Structure 1
């Protein structure tokens, strides 16, 4: 059996963010969780581990998320930063269709049924 090599890595803040994104993404993507903060030791491990991978950063649209984004931007200068609309504030509470659109915009394959916006708003 040939093991599939995962080229894309998505960095999110919390476990609930990871669960939500994982359900939307269709292609093999490794999802790393910072749990809101990250130690320099763990960051150094990630830098070595993610050296030749496509790194995407998707954090909350709040003060803590922006602080984390700033740190990750410095440590992963080639990473692509994905942004949710400020009105949703948190990745975990953003509508699936919004997250699917954001991920698709970064060429991350998503389950197409998430691209349909519910009409009950």
Structure 2
């Protein structure tokens, strides 16, 4: 398992991140919401790893971000521009820029 974990909402978000990622990182999909039991398991499993939260810039994304912030206070929060609203709709270049600013390696040719 990689030392870096990126939490996203859905499979399309996961595919978008994978399309620009140029290092080994685990990408976890919450499928929009996450139950308390599953969240507790996730928190335990990710203890000591570099966790990044990249969710949509909408109400459901912000609700999930708040929940994850409470349970994983050391996670780093990454934000797409609100104009794109969803990670899957953001241009690959923008997603790459967001990841790169967090010192995550991205492909140079997009």
Q: Same fold (TM over 0.5)?
A: yes
Please name the residue that 2:58 is paired with: 62
**Comparing both chains, which one has the higher relative contact order based on Cα–Cα distances under 8 Å and sequence gaps of 6 or more?**
2
| Cα distance in 1 between the residues matched to 2:49 and 2:78 | 16
| Cα distance in 2 between the residues matched to 1:109 and 1:53 | 17
RMSD between aligned residues: 0.7
Q: Give 1:97 shift.
A: 0.3
Q: Give 1:113 shift.
A: 1.3
Q: Give 1:23 shift.
A: 1.4
Which among 107, 110, 117 is matched to residue 106 of structure 2? 110
Q: What pairs with 1:79-98 in structure 2 (closer than 5 Å)? A: 79-98=75-94
Structure number with the higher helix fraction is 2
Please name the residue that 2:29 is paired with: 33
**How many matched pairs?**
110
List runs of 5+ in structure 1 lacking aligned partners.
115-121
| Cα distance in 2 between the residues matched to 1:13 and 1:36 | 5
SS of residue matched to 2:56? coil
**Stretches (4+) displaced over 3 A:** none
| Cα distance in 2 between the residues matched to 1:58 and 1:83 | 6
- TM-score normalised by the chain length of structure 2: 0.98
| Cα distance in 2 between the residues matched to 1:22 and 1:40 | 27
List runs of 5+ in structure 2 lacking aligned partners.
none
